[in-house]
Copies of this chain bind each other. A is one copy, B any other.
Amino acid sequence: MTEESKTMSNFTVILVQPQNPENIGLVARNMKNTGFENLRIIRQRELDSKSYKTAVHSRDILEKTRFYSSLSEATGDLDLIFAATSKRRKNFPFLSLEDAVTKMFEFPPATKIGLLFGNERTGLTSDELLSSNFRFAITQSARQPSYNLASAILLTLFHIYSSTGLKKTQISWEKPISRKEQDECIQLVLDKLEKKKFIHKTNKQHMTEMIYDLFGRLAMTSRDKKLLLALFSK
């Protein structure tokens, strides 16, 4: 599949009987942050106002949330279910988060994927794990505590989001000036320093190298160049 073709709208987050309404709001916010929009909740009829309180700028996700009385109803129209679990269970081998996400992207783009998360206290029961295609666990440093529900979901969604190839556009360093221009700037500074006798015959080689190194590390932009030339003309 190509990078562009997998979109977050093919994913659905499914919560089984969450007990903390604030968590649902946090999940909505995490979904918004990472570009997901489909939320389903099992064994709960409606949302508590506390959920709306933590769903900063994510009300729309809560408003579209769908409620189901059973797991099979909630997953029936999706294609693959990936279940998050923190416990190793005899009959349920599991993938790392990274491998699970890799796997998700091995299926055709139109594949509808459900991401299943259990209750805060119990996690997913063996019964609930049954109806998943793959189980995955998020590595953690110590045995205890496990990730909190909203945190586990955030890490999962962020990893998927980061894998779509849609990201990284807005963040970037400013473009450096051409290497030629950088050299010219450094040379001007060196000339200045030589005139000031800061650089002289005996230290010239060494100082030149040090200043090239120092200025090189800046990956100089045109703004930097202006600043440096101003600094060194005084």
Apart from A94-B171, A211-B227: 9 A-B pairs, beta carbons within 8 A: A26-B151, A35-B142, A56-B145, A56-B148, A94-B173, A139-B171, A198-B234, A210-B223, A217-B218
Given contacts A96-B168, A198-B231, contact A140 B33 (CB under 8 A): yes
Q: Residues of B contacting A33 with CB < 8 Å?
A: 140-142, 145-147, 151
Those 4 A-B pairs whose CB atoms lie nearest each other, nearest first: A35-B141, A57-B145, A96-B171, A57-B144
List CB contacts (< 8 Å) of A149-168 with chain B: 150-151, 154-155, 158, 161-162, 167-168
Determine how many copies of this chain the complex contains. Answer: 2
A38 CB-CB contact with B under 8 Å: no
Q: Closest chain B residue to A169 by CB distance?
A: B139
User: What's the Cα separation between A218 and B224 when bound, in Å?
Assistant: 13
A230 at the interface (CB under 8 A from B): yes
Q: Name A's B-contacting residues (CB within 8 A).
A: 8, 26, 29-30, 32-35, 56-58, 93-96, 98, 137, 139-142, 144-148, 150-151, 154-155, 158, 161-162, 167-168, 170-174, 193, 196, 198, 210-211, 214, 217-219, 221, 223-224, 227-228, 230-231, 234
Tell me how far the C-beta of A55 lies from the nearest C-beta in chain B, rounded to whole angstroms. 9
B residues within 8 A CB of A154? 151, 154-155
In the complex, A202→B147 CA distance in Å?
A: 50
A234 adjacent to B193 (CB under 8 Å) = yes
